[in-house]
């Protein structure tokens, strides 16, 4: 089991955390570096590959020994479609989920951070929200602009639906031109992210584990009532 865990951490950034009875209990996932989409990024860049993460999430959903999932995030963002796919997958998991932002969860990292049932950010953690950008050829016609707008709306709708911030306020922060030197957008540190309603609470790993165990016990209690 220990060798299997070491391989999982090395290959996929995941780990099974045994509970006191020896079961798997909690499945740990890391979302770090750049969210890689359909095209592979530079070999020297740390990435989270959605083709690795999605099957692992599906496996955790079906594994009867997995009671909850913990996500550790430190990402600068990346591919929008891949990021949203992962975020939607996390949001649709029936088991308790908790996220913890360590370092930063920027750009498409926003939906990933809020997709869990409950979210934490460390005091020095940051979140950067900004408009959707084009990373490839951009045809300067109205249809291209509308497609960008629609993509941005998908992101703001998802974040607003899974946090306490309104879509209007999020858009306002995205379009702020007074904070970032070479771009529009807003950087929120730990307390600010909570105050704006993006993240639920400031805390670290112990608080994240405590909350996840709390949600797991609540889930067990609900299951007992319906039996």
Catalytic residues: 107, 130
User: With b meaning 16 or more CB within 10 Å and e meaning fewer, what string describes 207-224?
Assistant: bbbebbbebbeebeeeee
What does each C-alpha distance from 221 to 110, 116, 191 come to in angstroms? Answer: 31, 20, 32
Cα distance between residue 179 and residue 37, in whole Å: 29
In 3-state terms the chain splits into helix, strand, coil percentages (rounded to 5) of: 45, 25, 35
Cα distance between residue 49 and residue 33, in whole Å: 10
Rg (CA), the chain: 18
Count of Cβ atoms closer than 10 Å to residue 140 Cβ? 6
Quick check: 198 and 188 in contact, CB under 8 A? yes
């Amino acid at each position: 089991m220990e060798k299997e865990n070491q391989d999982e951490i090395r290959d996929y950034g995941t780990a099974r955390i045994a509970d006191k009875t020896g079961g798997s209990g909690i499945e740990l996932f890391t979302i770090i570096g750049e969210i890689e989409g359909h095209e592979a990024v530079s070999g020297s860049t740390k990435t989270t590959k959605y083709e690795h993460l999605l099957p692992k999430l599906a496996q955790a959903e079906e594994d009867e020994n997995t009671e909850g999932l913990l996500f550790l995030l430190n990402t600068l963002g990346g591919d929008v479609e891949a990021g949203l796919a992962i975020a939607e997958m996390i949001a649709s998991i029936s088991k308790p989920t908790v996220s913890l932002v360590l370092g930063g969860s920027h750009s498409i990292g926003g939906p990933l951070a809020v997709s869990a049932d409950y979210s934490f950010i460390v005091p020095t953690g940051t979140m950067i929200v900004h408009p959707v950008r084009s990373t490839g050829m951009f045809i300067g016609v109205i249809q291209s602009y509308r497609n960008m707008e629609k993509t941005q709306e998908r992101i703001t709708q998802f974040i607003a639906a899974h946090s306490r911030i309104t879509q209007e306020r999020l858009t306002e922060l995205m379009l702020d031109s007074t904070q970032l030197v070479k771009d529009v957008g807003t950087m929120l540190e730990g307390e600010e992210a909570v105050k704006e309603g993006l993240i639920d609470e400031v805390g670290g790993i112990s608080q994240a584990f405590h909350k996840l165990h709390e949600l797991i016990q609540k889930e067990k209690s609900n299951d007992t009532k319906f039996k």
